[in-house]
Structure 1
């Protein structure tokens, strides 16, 4: 009997922006993501898709012609990457600072205990958490 292999869905988080270039610098040079794809003027939308090639998730930043995208409405607009290996975590934080991105105080003190928070050019935050994700 052939049983279908169950696979996890791939997650894409899409977000509007007013300027793709600074976001790509932040997430590629600073955070170490890769540019997975990009598109230009597709029915009025241009964008870049960033992530880690083997990860089942990626980020899409979209510029819509004629629209103004608002900045993050709250400091709790977060993406959190769990990096349990202290060497890997330190490398991630050092890469951000080497590219000119300094940590910002976390709004929620939980993220300060074992993490470093950075704010992207649109005001959204990326946390490198030095813990394992345990459900």
Structure 2
């Protein structure tokens, strides 16, 4: 059996652009002036289904229900992340689903006709080798995988997760006690990180729990261009997690992956890190991945330990 899902629209060109250029489907064919109808077939080559969108002189008045949904399941994590990037780059807003299931298992947005679409990662496979980078034609071209985690670039659509992370005073206890208070600050923080990707080719990455596809914090390598402890232009390893995910080994697991990547793929000669002298947990993690405590220094009035590790 072959499946065709047909829908009439008031703007055929906009619909085609949305489904082909943003969602990555193919234009399989089309027709003009077929009994006063124009149309396009959109789908994927070789599959036994496709969409048909048509346009005529009759005005369409859509009334989609909140539970009328097209659910799309990318087959790889990279495909899922690239779709989210396309959505963000085209200023398409993520919306809240009436059905909580989709809020937990995907991202919902509207197509040009106002119909709800969900992109879900539930069937996305991690096809990259453990702790290795994956090449792509887009974005940062880096995607790491550990036993329990996916480490991907931070996207504008991560603004809520960043807000949950950095609005918690407990998270900022050893960071100067300056949590964010607005979503706008969360967006600016993401912009800052993504600017580092462009300028330095590296930066902090989102840590995503494989089991739930939830962003639980960030971890990664940052290129420091401002003086710190009499050093400048150096690579620093760091991490920060949402409080409910503390104490589960995620910081060590992600930091170890980034240290291996920095030494083996980026060929960094020496890795650096620092921690508040009272942050016993972070100090323990840095020592566990092999970082050596070599000195003490003052960072914005906060006594800190300085760590280094040479790539041998």
Scaled by the length of structure 1, the TM-score of the pair is: 0.83
Partner of 1:126: 117
User: For the residues of structure 1 that align with 2:114 and 2:8, how far apart are their CA atoms?
Assistant: 12
Aligned CA-pair RMSD: 1.7
Matched, 1:73 2:64: yes
Give the 5 Å matches for 1:97-116.
97-116=88-107
Matched, 1:82 2:82: no
Matched position secondary structure for 2:79:
helix
Matched position secondary structure for 2:98:
coil
| Residue deviations 1:50-91 (CA, integer Å, cap 9, x gap) | 1111222111111122x2212233122211112253222111
| Residue deviations 1:25-64 (CA, integer Å, cap 9, x gap) | 1111110111111111111111111111122211111112
Partner of 1:4: none
Matched, 1:52 2:47: no
For this pair of structures, how many residues does the alignment match?
A: 124
Partner of 1:30: 22
Quick check: 104-113 or 10-19, which moved more?
104-113
1:101: how far off?
2.0
User: For the residues of structure 2 that align with 1:54 and 1:97, how far apart are their CA atoms?
Assistant: 29
Scaled by the length of structure 2, the TM-score of the pair is: 0.38
User: For the residues of structure 2 that align with 1:55 and 1:92, how far apart are their CA atoms?
Assistant: 20
**Greater share of helix residues, 1 or 2?**
2
User: For the residues of structure 2 that align with 1:92 and 1:55, how far apart are their CA atoms?
Assistant: 20
Which has the higher Rg, Structure 1 or Structure 2?
Answer: 2
Matched position secondary structure for 2:33:
strand
Classify 1:94/1:37 alpha carbon distance in 2 versus 1 (closer, same or farther; 3 Å). Answer: same
Q: Which has the higher contact order (CA 8 A, sep 6+)?
A: 1
5+ residue gaps, structure 2: 125-312
Match of 2:33 among 35, 41, 53: 41
Matched position secondary structure for 1:41:
strand
